[in-house]
Amino acid sequence: MGKAQKTREKILGNARDLLWRHGYSNVPLRQIATAAGVDVALISRYFGNKQGLFQATLEGAFDIPEVSSPQELVDMVVLLFMSHPRDSSTVSILNLMLMNAQDEEVGSLVRTLQQSTLQASVEDVLGDTARAALFMAVILGMSVAEKSLHLPGIAPCQTPEYEGQLRHMLMASLAYNSQAAL
């Protein structure tokens, strides 16, 4: 990897960390440049502008491994939740969505990309738009309940009780029957 590619990747990694963790509108380009140890002009050189940089952080963000059954989907989500340490400084697509989906400048982009890739993949496996939406709501809701609200009754992360709660909620979303709800 050449020097230019290393610099580009360094900018991109710091941008992903800062923009996904703190939100697009809360992070100036200078902060990203400082974190990457580069001149702010290099961001324009490699990405055009802040929105171009943000879009570059989204490449592949919502891709999920191919699964063929609802049970495999539940198992994959549980594995991801259980293997990602909560005190980790690593940002995730959950951070991305929670911090940027309502942003005035990039919210529409985040929502559209999430729906056209991640949501569409979940929908393909589940075969139902409503169940896919509920499945995504469980993922986001458990994350907010655990990380932000610290709800009593949600078991500590990475415990068998937490895995059971998460699995129960995911399976409940799969049991929803939109035809019976009418």
Q: Is residue 65 assigned to a domain?
A: no
Residue 45 is predicted with a pLDDT of 94
Could you please report the per-residue DSSP string of the chain? --HHHHHHHHHHHHHHHHHHHH-GGG--HHHHHHHHTS-THHHHHHHSSHHHHHHHHHTTTT------SHHHHHHHHHHHHHHS-TT-S---HHHHHHHHTT-TTTHHHHHHHIIIIIIHHHHHHHS-HHHHHHHHHHHHHHHIIIIIS--TTSPPTTSHHHHHHHHHHHHHHHH--HHHH-
pLDDT interval class at 150 (50, 70, 90): confident
pLDDT tens profile 31-60 = 999 999 999 999 999 999 999 999 999 999
User: For the chain, how far is it from start to end, CA to CA, in angstroms?
Assistant: 57
Rounded CA gap, 134 and 174, in Å?
8
Query: Which burial class, exposed, middle or buried, applies to 126 when counting CB atoms under 10 A from its CB (0-12, 13-18, 19+)?
Result: buried
Q: Is the domain of 16 the same as that of 86?
A: no
Q: Which domain holds residue 40?
A: 3-57
Residues 118 and 176 in one domain: yes
Q: Give the model's pLDDT for residue 143.
A: 83
Boundary-marking domain end, from 33, 57, 81 = 57
pLDDT at 89: 67
In the chain, the number of structural domains is 2
* pTM attached to this predicted model: 0.86
Do the Cβ atoms of 70 and 76 come closer than 8 Å?
no
The residue-averaged pLDDT of 152-172 equals 91
Read off the pLDDT of residues 105-146 as tens digits, 9 standing for 90 and up: 999 999 999 999 999 999 999 999 999 999 999 998 988 887
- The whole-number pLDDT of residue 92 equals 84
**Which of 58 and 150 is assigned the larger pLDDT?**
58
Flag whether 112 is in a domain.
Answer: yes
Check if the beta carbon of residue 176 is closer than 8 Å to that of residue 134. Answer: yes
Average per-residue pLDDT for the chain? 91
